[in-house]
Structure formats: structure tokens, C-alpha cells
Amino acid sequence: MIVVMKKGATAAEIGSLIARVEELDLTPHPIYGEMHTVIAVVGEAVNVEPEMFLQLPGVETVTRIGHQFKLASRQTMPEDTQIALNGTVIGGSKLVVMAGPCSVEDRTQMLETAHAVKEAGARILRGGAFKPRTSPYSFQGMGLKGLELLAEAREATGLKIITEVMTPDAVPMVSQYADILQIGARNMQNYGLLNAVGRTQRPVLLKRGMMSTIQELLMSAEYIMSNGNYRVMLCERGIRTFEPMTRNTFDLNAVPLLKQLSHLPVIGDPSHGTGRWDLVAPMAKAAVACGADGLIIEVHPKPEVAISDGPQSLKPERFAQLMRDLKPLAQALGREL
């Protein structure tokens, strides 16, 4: 349920409502707005009627939430969520581009790429220190050393860092280095990991699983938010279909649909969505045209020798051209890059 308090409701009235919710073994999630306070009530509320809350002082309206994803639903928060990150706002009027290599390989590669993507206009540096791979014999990432190289690149450029965390016990360590925690497609339904990142206040980029529905993606976001972390971004990165000409099928339907269903920012990943560098630019533009709040793009100074995902990585000069091409498109849509 969504309980909307009256304008000017007192702290005592809000506290009374929260206490009543807890008496019913439900969980209150208060959202404090400029005009109203909204309390999202989640849990097994089968026998709880709205009248139980309507009779309390300070309550204006009570509405049942129609979706299973309560906290991620636009019913709960009609306004778009904006995630502030030390001067960068994700989900606002500006498009935010995250760029960098699939894997952290060495110091020279990271620093060269970081300087290049920053000069082109990226705001956040991506790079994998831990890499879940299909084969156990493939490169699995540099681990802690990779995190240290990302931190050095941040120090040198001022870019914020996004990197993947793979296990619940690694969340504290990765959080020491990363500004944004990425949950990869293979871990979208790793509920222990979702609960762990939900107990942090680090922003989370949640990637859609390669065979997951939009509903399942939103329910995974709900796991994170139900633990108290509301700073979640949803990432469309392509799904597996019968088409063999591309790595995945970039589901552009998901972008506007997610924006309708949820208040959370939506990020497009045309690199994984296509698996082909020559398709990244057109699909990046398409994602922006569909309403994406940002992009995450793989960039490598020498894709031909990249340890992972070389075929879908843009060279720095191609990335710079894409950023130039995106500016007039963003302007036409009433946004900035």
C-alpha cells in the first residue's frame, strides 16, 4: 500500500502511522517529499484493509499497489528518481555516459582509456576487476589489483568508478573502491548478493539477465530496495534470442516500458546488447531516443588485443565521435549531454 500523509503532517503523526504499520508485521518505507510524506507499506498485507490507516491522524489517502514490485513502482513514486554522485546526477535532465574497458588489464590501458573517455565527455569510468566468464579457463579479472588501478585512474581524471561485484562477501571490499556497484546479468537473481548491496548506500547498476523478463528485473530491484538502498539503476543489456548475427538482442522496448512502470533511472548497454562495435553507435542513439537516462559503453585503446569483449569495444576516437553525435540528439529531446 501507499499511504500519503496530509500536507503539514507532524512528525508525531508520521511516527504513529509507522508504528501502526510495524504492529501489523509490515515494513514501512517512508519517502519524505517537499509537500507530502509518502509511506510505502510492504509485506504480507492480505488481511490489511486501507481503513486501518485512513482512520489515523494526518493520513490523506491510502492506495493499494497493483504490482509485486512495490518500491520500484511508479505508483509509489510518481517522480523520477535522481541519484546524486558528487556533482553527477543520474536520472535528471542530463544524459550520463559510463565508458571504459570490459576488463582492467594493466595500468597503461586503464589510464589511457580513462583520459580518453573523460576528454570525450564521459562522466563515469567502467572497468571489470572481477569477471564472471562462461569458461572457467578464461581471464577472471585482476581482483584487488584491478580495483587499485581503477582508484588510480579516478585520482588521475576525477571520473567516478563503476565496477562489478560478484559475491556477497566481496561487497565491503569493492565498496571501498567503487562509486557504483554493478550487478552483472549472470547475477541478476543472486538474491544473497542483491540483499548485500541493498544493505549498503552505494548506488547500484542492476543489469537485466540474458533470459530474464522485465518483471523479473524489477523484482530483483525490489530485493535491493527492500533492504533500504533506493539508489538503483536498471540496465537493459540485451537478451538471448534465436538470432545468431548479434551477441544478444538489444530490447529497446524495455527502455520506455521501464520508464512507464518504474521511477528508477534506466541505462542502455549497446555494447553487450549487440556484441559488435559497428552497431554500438546506432543502438546507443536509439536507446537515447527511447528515453534512456544514460549509456554504458565499452571502450578500449586496442580492441584487437583486448583480453575480453574486444569485438564490441569502441576505439577512443570512435567513442569521441559518438559523443559528438549524441549532443544534438540529446538537445532535440530536451536533454543535455
3-state SS assignment for residue 57: coil
Contact 181, 202 (CB under 8 A): yes
User: What pLDDT shows up at residue 137?
Assistant: 73
The yes-or-no verdict on residue 298 having pLDDT over 90 is yes
Inter-helix orientation angle 214-226/254-261, to 10° = 40
pLDDT category, 207, cuts 50, 70, 90? very high
Q: What DSSP assignment string belongs to 269-332? A: -HHHHHS-HHHHHHHHHHHHHHT-SEEEEEB-S-GGG-SS-GGGPBPHHHHHHHHHHHHHHHHH
Nearest one of 241, 242, 250, 244 to 272, comparing CA atoms:
250
Lowest pLDDT segment from 73-77, 140-144, 313-317: 140-144
pTM (global) more than 0.85: yes
- Hey, what long-range contacts does 80-83 have (CB within 8 A, 24 or more apart)? 80/263, 80/265, 81/230, 81/231, 81/232, 81/263, 81/264, 81/265, 82/265, 83/203, 83/231, 83/233, 83/265
Mean pLDDT, the chain, rounded, equals 94
At 46 the pLDDT is 62
For residues 219 and 68, the answer to whether their CB atoms sit within 8 Å is yes
- At residue 66, the pLDDT reads 78
**Per-residue model confidence (pLDDT) at position 283:** 98
Alpha helices in 9-87 (DSSP H): 11-23, 51-54
Residue 35, pLDDT > 80, answer no
Comparing 46 with 201, the larger pLDDT belongs to 201
Helices (H) and strands (E) in the chain, counts: 11, 14
Residue 45 is predicted with a pLDDT of: 65
Chain centroid to Cα 317, Å, comes to: 27
What CA–CA distance (Å, rounded) separates 155 from 148? 11
Residue 254 pLDDT grade (very low, low, confident, very high; cuts 50, 70, 90): very high
Q: Which listed CATH number (3.30.70.1140, 3.90.1150.10, 3.40.50.1820, 3.40.50.720) goes with 2-63? A: 3.30.70.1140
Domain boundaries defined on the chain: 2-63, 83-332
Residues 300-312 pLDDT 10s: 999 999 999 999 9
Residue 313, pLDDT > 90, answer yes
Which pLDDT score is estimated for 43?
Answer: 83
Q: Is the pLDDT of residue 214 over 90?
A: yes
Residues 219 and 213: their CA atoms lie apart, in Å, by: 10
> In this structure, are residues 129 and 147 in contact, taking their beta carbons and an 8 Å threshold?
yes
Mean pLDDT of the region 76-92: 92
What's the fold here for domain 83-332?
Answer: TIM Barrel (3.20.20)
Q: pLDDT at residue 18 above 80?
A: yes
Other CB atoms within a 10 A radius of the CB of residue 145 amount to: 13
- Tell me which residue has cell 553527477: 88
pLDDT given at position 51: 86
Note the pLDDT tens digit of each residue in 85-139. 988 999 989 999 999 999 999 999 999 999 999 999 999 999 999 987 778 877 7
d(CA 273, CA 37): 39
Q: How high is the pLDDT of residue 36?
A: 80
pLDDT at 32 over 90: no
Q: How far is residue 240's CA from residue 124's CA, in Å, rounded to a whole number?
A: 27
